[in-house]
């Protein structure tokens, strides 16, 4: 099956949103269960960012010659910020502390705006620029990515 970048990556955003919402819904009722959803969200988001930064964005950068400026440069910067907000929330989760509304809002708002730009501008642009073979190569490389590249928690700590 031939899938477009925009639809696949958009669906991955939606799935991650769902995990995050489940965490929020459950955190005051059953923290252990909420934490399972946080883990799915965290590992999934880390995987998504590695996919973008190491596989998808380089394709765009090769095609357009825009690397140190332009949309992927901005998206990479935003990933750093998202990563910081994610770790701030992760600290609360490690303490099993449900008082994390502020951390959640920061992360959610930043992520929403980021995803919106990718879905409306960057992904459609990549679909337009890339050949069918190039898109296939992206999906193949994503499958080959080893789990330990993204399934990491903070150093030395295992859930
Ligand atoms: Fe992104
Ligand atoms: Fe994304």
The Å distance, Cα 78 to ligand 2 centre, comes to 11
User: How far apart are the C-alpha atoms of 109 and 150, rounded to whole Å?
Assistant: 23
User: How far apart are the C-alpha atoms of 92 and 148, rounded to whole Å?
Assistant: 23
Which residue, among 98, 106, 104, has the nearest Cα to 27 in the 3D structure?
Answer: 98
CB 92 within 8 A of CB 110: no
Question: Is residue 17 situated within a structural domain?
Answer: yes
Question: Is residue 156 situated within a structural domain?
Answer: no
Please tell me the predicted confidence (pLDDT) of residue 159. Answer: 44
Per DSSP, the three-state class of 98 is coil
What is the domain extent for residue 14? 5-147
Q: How many domains does the chain have?
A: 1
Relative to the alpha carbon of 110, which ligand is closest? Answer: 1
Residuewise pLDDT in 10s, the chain (159 residues):
568 999 999 999 999 999 999 999 999 999 999 999 999 999 999 999 999 999 999 999 999 999 999 999 999 999 999 999 999 999 999 999 999 999 999 999 999 999 999 999 999 999 999 999 999 999 999 999 999 888 876 544 444
- Burial of 95 from C-beta contacts in 10 A (0-12 / 13-18 / 19+): exposed
CA angle 23, 27, 32 (to 5 degrees): 90
Question: Is residue 97 situated within a structural domain?
Answer: yes
Question: Is residue 152 situated within a structural domain?
Answer: no
Which residue, among 66, 72, 59, 64, has the nearest Cα to 133 in the 3D structure?
Answer: 59
Please tell me the predicted confidence (pLDDT) of residue 2. Answer: 65
Sign of CA dihedral 40, 54, 114, 90: positive
The Å distance, Cα 37 to ligand 2 centre, comes to 19
Question: Is residue 33 situated within a structural domain?
Answer: yes
Question: Is residue 155 situated within a structural domain?
Answer: no
Please tell me the predicted confidence (pLDDT) of residue 3. Answer: 86
The Å distance, Cα 60 to ligand 2 centre, comes to 14
User: How far apart are the C-alpha atoms of 26 and 29, rounded to whole Å?
Assistant: 5
Question: Is residue 50 situated within a structural domain?
Answer: yes
Please tell me the predicted confidence (pLDDT) of residue 156. Answer: 42
The Å distance, Cα 122 to ligand 2 centre, comes to 9
Please tell me the predicted confidence (pLDDT) of residue 154. Answer: 58
The Å distance, Cα 141 to ligand 2 centre, comes to 16
The Å distance, Cα 118 to ligand 1 centre, comes to 7
Question: Is residue 157 situated within a structural domain?
Answer: no
């Amino acid at each position: 099956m031939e899938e477009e970048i925009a639809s696949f990556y958009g669906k991955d955003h939606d799935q991650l949103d769902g995990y995050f919402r489940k965490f929020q819904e459950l955190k005051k009722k059953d923290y252990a269960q909420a934490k399972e959803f946080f883990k799915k969200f965290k590992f999934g988001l880390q995987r998504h960012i590695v996919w973008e930064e190491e596989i998808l964005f380089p394709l765009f950068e090769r095609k357009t010659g825009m690397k140190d400026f332009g949309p992927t440069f901005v998206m990479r910067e935003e990933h750093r910020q998202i990563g910081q907000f994610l770790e701030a929330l992760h600290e609360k989760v490690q303490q099993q502390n449900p008082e994390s509304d502020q951390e959640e809002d920061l992360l959610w708002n930043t992520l929403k705006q980021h995803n919106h730009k990718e879905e409306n501008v960057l992904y459609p642009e990549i679909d337009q620029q890339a050949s069918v073979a190039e898109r296939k190569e992206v999906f193949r490389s994503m499958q080959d990515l080893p789990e330990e590249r993204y399934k990491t928690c903070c150093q030395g700590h295992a859930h």
